[in-house]
Amino acid sequence: MKSVTAIAMIMLAICATFAAVPLCDASSPDVRLCEVNAFGSDEGVSLHNYGLSDADLKGYTVTDNPSKTSNEGSISFSQSLVIRPGETLTFVKERVEGSYFLSNHTSYCNGESGVTVSSDFALKNTGDDIYLFKGGTVVDCFLYGNVTKPSVYDWNGQTFTVKDGFVAVRNNPDQASAMAWSNMKEGMIHEPFDPDRQFDATVSPFLMPETGGIPIYDELSNAASSVILSMYILSSDNAIALLADLAKRGVDIQVLMPKNLPDFDPLNDGGKLKYLSESGADIRLITGDGRYALVHSKCCIIDGETVIVMSENWTKDNLNGKKVDDPSKGEGNRGWGAIVRSTDYAEYLTGLFQKDFDTAYGDVLRYEDETAGKPSKTLTYVAPKDTVELESYSAKVTPVMSPDSSYEGIMHYISNAEKRVFSEQQSIGSNIADAEYISPVTGMCQAKKTGADVRLLVSTNANVGNIKDVESMGIETGILPQPYLHNKGIVCDDTTLVGSVNWTWNSINNNRETMVAIHSKDVADFFASSFLSDYDRSTGSDLSVYFSEPPADCREGEKITVTVDTIQSGSFTYTWKLDGEEMHSTIKRVIIEASVGEHTVSVTVKDSSDREATISGSFRVSESSAIPDSMEGLLVYIAPVLVVLIGIAAVMVRIRGGRRG
Task: Encode pLDDT of 538-575 as tens digits.
Answer: 887 677 788 889 899 999 999 999 999 887 777 899 99
pLDDT at res. 29:
67
Most confident segment among 66-70, 198-202, 572-576, 600-604: 198-202
Report the pLDDT value the prediction gives residue 625, as an integer from 0 to 100.
63
| Residue 152, pLDDT score | 63
Three-state DSSP at 398 gives strand
Residues, the chain, total?
A: 661
What are the percentages of helix, strand and coil residues in the chain, rounded to 5?
20, 30, 45
Distance CA 549, CA 561 (A): 7
Q: Which is more confident, 449 or 611? A: 449
Higher pLDDT, 421 or 600: 421
* CATH superfamily, with its number, for domain 31-155: Lamin Tail domain (2.60.40.1260)
How far apart are the C-alpha atoms of 426 and 296, rounded to whole Å?
14
pLDDT at 318 over 80: yes
| Cβ atoms < 10 Å from Cβ of 534 | 23
Residue 636 has pLDDT above 70, yes or no: no
Compute how many other C-beta atoms are within 10 angstroms of the C-beta atom of residue 292. Answer: 25
Q: Distance (Å, rounded) from C-alpha 457 to C-alpha 486?
A: 11
Average pLDDT over residues 529-543: 87
Q: Are 121 and 36 in contact (CB under 8 A)?
A: no
Specify the domain boundaries for CATH 2.60.40.1260 within the chain.
Answer: 31-155
Q: What integer pLDDT is reported at residue 632 of this predicted model?
A: 42
- Please state whether the peptide bond connecting residue 205 to the residue before it is cis, i.e. omega within 30 degrees of 0: no
- Give the integer Cα–Cα distance in Å for 655 and 503: 90
Q: 140-154, 237-251, 397-411, 471-485: lowest mean pLDDT where?
A: 140-154
Rounded CA separation 611/588 (Å): 16
Separation between Cα atoms, residue 179 and residue 171, nearest integer Å: 9
* Strand-pair category, 181-184 with 167-170: antiparallel
Are β-strands 282-286 and 252-258 bridged in parallel, bridged antiparallel, or unpaired?
parallel
Tell me how far apart the alpha carbons of residues 297 and 312 are, in angstroms, rounded to a whole number.
9
Percent of the chain with pLDDT over 70: 89
Task: Using the predicted structure, report yes or no on whether residue 151 has a pLDDT greater than 80.
Answer: no
Mean pLDDT of the chain: 88
Task: Say how far apart CA 486 and CA 208 lie, in whole Å.
Answer: 10
Which residues, listed in sequence order, are joined to residue 601 by a DSSP beta bridge?
Answer: 578, 617
Whether residue 287 is predicted with pLDDT greater than 80 in this model: the reply is yes
Q: Residue 632: CA atoms inside 13 Å, Cβ hemisphere, count? A: 5
Domain with CATH 3.30.870.10 in the chain: 199-536
One-character DSSP codes across 464-520: HHHHHHHHHTT-EEEE--SS-B----EEETTEEEEES--BSHHHHHTSBEEEEEEE-
pLDDT of 267 over the 80 cut: yes
What is the reported pLDDT for 23? 37
Report the percent of the chain where pLDDT is more than 90.
72
Predicted local confidence at residue 307, as pLDDT: 98
Residue ranges of alpha helices (H) inside 505-579 are 505-509, 521-536
Local confidence band at 443 (pLDDT 50, 70, 90 cut-offs)? very high
Answer whether residue 478 shows pLDDT above 60. Answer: yes
**Fold that domain 199-536 belongs to in CATH:** Endonuclease; Chain A (3.30.870)
How does residue 36 score in pLDDT terms, banded at 50, 70 and 90? Answer: very high
Tell me the three state secondary structure of residue 202.
strand
Does the pLDDT at position 4 exceed 60? no
Report the pLDDT value the prediction gives residue 222, as an integer from 0 to 100: 97
- When pLDDT is cut at 50, 70 and 90, the band that residue 276 belongs to is very high
CA–CA gap between residue 25 and residue 23 (Å, rounded): 7
For helices 214-221 and 237-248, give the axis angle rounded to 10 degrees: 10
Q: How far apart are CA 568 and CA 585, in angstroms?
A: 18
CATH architecture of 545-622: Sandwich (2.60)
What would the 3-class secondary structure string for 585-608 be? ECCCEEEECCCCEEEEEEEEEEEC
pLDDT of residue 150: 72
Is residue 656 predicted with pLDDT exceeding 90? no
Q: Compute the distance between CA of residue 235 and CA of residue 221 in angstroms, rounded to an integer.
A: 18
Task: Give the residue among 281, 504, 278, 513 at the shortest CA–CA distance from 377.
Answer: 278
Pick from 422, 396, 400, 220: nearest CA to 308? 220
Q: Is the distance from CB of 447 to CB of 454 less than 8 angstroms? A: yes
State the Cα–Cα distance between residues 398 and 195, nearest whole angstrom. 7
| CATH 2.60.40.10 domain span(s) along the chain | 545-622
Q: How far apart, in Å, are the Cα atoms of 3 and each of 425, 479, 533, 539?
A: 18, 10, 15, 5
Q: Residue 325 burial (CB < 10 Å; 0-12/13-18/19+)?
A: exposed
Print burial letters for 308-323: b (CB count within 10 Å at least 16), e (below 16). Answer: bbbbbbbbebbbbbbb
